[in-house]
Homo-oligomer: A and B are copies of this chain.
Amino acid sequence: MPRRVGRYTVLLPSRPVITGWAAVGGKKEGEGPLAQEMAQIFSDGTLGQKTWEKAESEMHKAAAARALQNAKKSAADIDIQFAGDLLSQSIGTTFAVREFDIPLFGLYGACSTMAQSLAAAAMLVDGGVIKSGLASTGSHFCASERQFRNPLEYGGQRPPTAQWTATAAGAAVVERSGTGPRVQAAIIGRIQDMDITDANNMGAAMAPAAASTIADFLHDTGSTPQEYDLILTGDLGATGSELLLAFLQKQEGIDISGVHADCGNMLYAPDDKDVLAGASGCGCSASVVCSHICNRLAAGELHRVLFVGTGALLSAVSALQGQSIPGIAHGVLLTSS
């Protein structure tokens, strides 16, 4: 059965099912428009932990536990957990999932992790290699700022292109059969690098990767933007979204303006001045997709969503060594049935 269409896209004829999903968030996320759809809001950003990294792990763990619960599964029912995060050596993940005792397939795709983990779980379920997978990730504003930019105590001013790393996590159980949204196709992205070096402008670094993955997917499947209810990018924010629409229009002649939305523009209240160009971080698209988007697909209010997670592949070391910020974007086609 030829699953691959075109050069980059994989069709998943068995249409693996997302049988359980959950998102959790911090205080600021709890003040945003999606708060009601989250399984839990932690008003204390420390989650009772002594470090931000441990708080991130607790949040990631909570999302995974809730997703399992919603899928009516225990950890022992899951064949492989696909998880990763932004922290160096993925420690947010390691210390979140340790107690589940599920085989752990660690992955790294920066903020594209939710799309990448969903793609991995769905591809292996569709291939008959596993029966069930758990896809999960999270991020924490305080852990991320310290690692990538400045310690919070520095109190530096952030430029208008800067984004706010979500203090949030999301998780989804993917199975061969059951009730819930389906994963009909997946696309693993290629690195795109347009020589952006400003760590306060991640949207610009990631937009070319999003454009490439969206154009590849539409080309491979011979479909038009109008065939999707949403083409949903991960965390380009206001700046990156604008660039994405312009790239696709000018370089590919593709107009997605009527169907495009970005999780980075959906998580926080529009009048929240802190967030500047929008939300970012692994937890951004994870918490939006594993709450609002899956809910609307399950309710039949959305039917076809091309979710393209976007990641900026930099470290503090590579940034200080003058390297550019390459971007990557992985996608999954989510459908209501």
Q: Give residues in A with beta carbon < 8 Å to B.
A: 1, 3-4, 8, 10, 50-51, 53-54, 79-80, 84, 86-91, 94-95, 97-98, 101-110, 116, 120, 123-124, 126-131, 147, 187-191, 193, 313-318, 321, 323, 326, 328
Contacts and interface: CB of A to CB of B under 8 A. Distances in A.
Given A89-B88, A190-B104, A314-B91, A130 B4 contact: yes
Contacts of A90: 108, 313
Contacts of A110: 89
Contacts of A189: 103-104
A131 to B, nearest CB: 7
A308 B108 CA distance: 21
A318 B91 contact: yes
How many copies of this chain does one complex carry?
2
Contacts of A193: 98
A189 B326 CA distance: 30
A195 to B, nearest CB: 11
8 contacts: A54-B321, A87-B317, A88-B88, A88-B315, A89-B318, A95-B326, A106-B107, A123-B124
A175 to B, nearest CB: 14
Contacts of A127: 123-124, 126-129
Contact of A313 (B86, B94, B314, B328): B94
A84 to B, nearest CB: 6
Given A104-B191, A105-B107, 16 more contacts: A10-B130, A53-B321, A54-B321, A89-B108, A91-B313, A91-B318, A94-B313, A97-B191, A101-B190, A103-B187, A103-B189, A104-B190, A105-B116, A106-B328, A124-B129, A127-B127
A129 B328 CA distance: 21
A188 B123 contact: no
Contacts of A321: 50-51, 53-54
Given A53-B317, A87-B317, A106-B107, A98 B10 contact: no
Nearest to A105: B188
